[in-house]
Amino acid sequence: MSDDSCKTPDHGNVLGFRSGAAVAPTGRDSALSALVGYWAGMCDGAQVPRRSDVDPRRIGALLSNAFIAERIAPGHARLRIAGMHLTELMGMEVRGLPLSAFIAPAGRDRLADGLVRLFDQPATLRLDLVLRGDGRGRAAATGTMVLLPLRSDMGDVSRALGCLITTAPPGAAPVRFDIRDCKATPVLRDTGPPPAAGPCPARGRADALLRYDAAPGIRSGERPYLRLVKSDT
């Protein structure tokens, strides 16, 4: 299976990440918990799941907010597939853009530190984001980005399943968020002692690590309800 696309075993049609409405901010925590629960369910013991294991039908409610990122260098990743909400935030097609395009310049070193931990430890990553009003009509907004490590078809941890949920209103593009908080939670492996959990290196306070509980909203064996979308990509 191609590492760039999500295909069903029966039809071979690409399931676009653009389908569906963006997740409402009021449902942010439950939606992110469901995504993490789905990702954890794909893990083989303590092994990071493969990119080809991701079935967009299982995260139908999150497709507009979801994305797949690829590591291109230590501390850097680019978008391979992205939902419509990310396109609306940037006001343009975001496929191929660096993930740092959504982050203000002052926070990009902090994002880079988090991406190193995401792929090297590996670890799950949560960034709490804030968009400041510009005094010219753009309202302040908040957001949350979650990144979950994936293995490529070659077996290396160089992909990530991500989700970005924000309160940014339509028409605010392009937006670049400041990072209010960044937490990395190491993925436990089968062998060896687990690495210590902790915040991404940065100045400022260090809160307790957020722990996700798998939400019951995405279950094994559910009948898919998201329609197939053909794509040339």
Give the amino acid at 102: F
* Overall average pLDDT of the 28-46 stretch: 87
For residues 161 and 210, the model is more confident at 161
Question: CB neighbours of 185 closer than 8 A, spacing ≥ 6?
Answer: 123, 124, 125, 126, 197, 209, 210, 211
Q: Are 175 and 163 in contact (CB under 8 A)?
A: no
Q: What is the pLDDT of residues 78-95, one digit of tens each?
A: 999 999 999 999 999 999
Distance between CA 225 and CA 232 in Å, rounded?
A: 22
User: What 8-state DSSP symbol labels residue 225?
Assistant: -
Give the amino acid at 57: R
Q: Are 35 and 28 in contact (CB under 8 A)?
A: no
Sequence-ordered strand ranges (E) for the chain: 66-73, 76-82, 123-131, 141-151, 157-166, 178-186, 198-199
Q: Which CATH number fits domain 25-45+61-187: 3.30.200.20, 1.10.3720.10, 3.10.20.600, 3.30.450.20?
A: 3.30.450.20
For residues 3 and 63, the model is more confident at 63
